[in-house]
Each structure stands twice: as C-alpha cells, then as structure tokens.
Amino acid sequence: MPERFEGHITPITTLDKVAIFTLSLLMVVIGLFPAIMVPLVETGVNNILRLLGGL
C-alpha cells in the first residue's frame, strides 16, 4: 500500500462485508431478473405517462 494511505485505510470488517454483499447481491439479482421490479414500477410509471399524454 502506498505510504500516503498508511493509517488512513482501515481493514475491512465482517459487517462491511455483509453490507457490501447485501447491496451487490440485490444489484446482481435485479440485474439478472428485472421482472422482480419492472412490472411493479411500470404500474406507477404508466399512471404518470397517462397524465402527461405519453400513453
């Protein structure tokens, strides 16, 4: 590690790993299976599009 970072970067902890894993897992799952979220969001967006005359 470059000397200028010594003392500034702390080791990663288990809780950090859990947090990063949680976020990454959600990202990957939604990316691979967009159907988890797309139909739901569509229902909300269609309402807005109707108001704006885009549907």
Partner 1 sequence: MNFPVLSIIVFSPIVAAMVILLIPAERKTEARGVALAAAIFALLLSLWAYLSYDKAAAGYQFMEQYNWLPQLGVSLHFGVDGISAPLVLLTGVVMFTGVLISWGDFGEHVSAGIQDRPREFFAFLFILASGVFGVFASLDLFMLFFFFEIAVFPMYLLIVIWGWDKTREYAAMKLTLYLFIGSVVALVGALAMYWVAGQNTGVYTFDLLQLEKAGFSASFQNLWFLPVFFGFAVLGGIWPFHNWSPDGHVAAPTAVSMFHAGVLMKLGAFAALRVGIMLLPEGAKYWSWVIMLSAGIAIVYGAFIAFVQTDLKYMIGFSSVWFRGRVPNLPGRVENPMAGGCDCQHFHYPDRRVRDDGYQPRILRQDAGKI
Helix (H, G, I), strand (E, B) or coil at 2: coil
For residues 31 and 23, what is the distance between their CA atoms, to the nearest angstrom? 12
Per-residue binder mask for partner 1 (CB under 8 A), 12-31, x = binder? xxxxx-xxx-xxx-xx--xx
For residues 25 and 23, what is the distance between their CA atoms, to the nearest angstrom? 5
Q: Which of residues 30-49 bind partner 1 (CB under 8 A)?
A: 30-31, 34, 37-49
Contact call for residue 10 and partner 1 (CB under 8 A):
yes
Applying CB under 8 A, the residues found at the interface with partner 1 are: 5, 8-16, 18-20, 22-24, 26-27, 30-31, 34, 37-49, 51-54
